[in-house]
Chains A and B, each alone.
Chain A
Amino acid sequence: MFILDDLLFRPFVGIIDALHSIALDELYDLNELEDELKENQLLYELGERSEEEYRRRKDELEEEIEIAREVHEQFSSGRVEVKR
Chain B
Amino acid sequence: MDSETDGDRLVSHRYVYGVVEASDDIEFETDAVAEADQVYTITHRRYGAVVSDIDTTEPEETDEDAQRHDDVLREIMEYDGGQTIVPMQFGMAFEGDRELKNVLRNAQPAFRRALRDIEGKIELGLKLVREEDADVDREAIEDAVADELEPVAAQSVPNDLFSDRLVFNRSYLVEKEDQEEFDDAVAALEDEYGDELMFQYTGPFAPYSFVDVKIGAQG
- Listed in ascending order, the chain A residues whose CB lies under 8 Å from chain B are 34-35, 38-39, 42-43, 45-46, 48
Contact = CB atoms under 8 A, between A and B. Distances in A.
Contact of B198 (A35, A38, A48): A48
Contacts, number: 23
B198 A46 contact: yes
A35 B162 contact: yes
Contacts of A38: 162-163
A48 B163 CA distance: 14
B200 A35 contact: no
Q: Is the interface of A mostly helix, strand, loop or mixed?
A: helix
| Closest A-B pairs by Cβ, 5 of them | A39-B163, A35-B162, A38-B162, A46-B198, A46-B200
B129 A46 contact: yes
Contacts of A43: 129, 165
Interface of B: 127, 129, 132, 162-163, 165-166, 198, 200
A34 B166 CA distance: 15
A42 B169 CA distance: 12
Contacts of B166: 39, 42
A35 B200 CA distance: 17
Contacts of B129: 42-43, 46
A45 B199 CA distance: 11
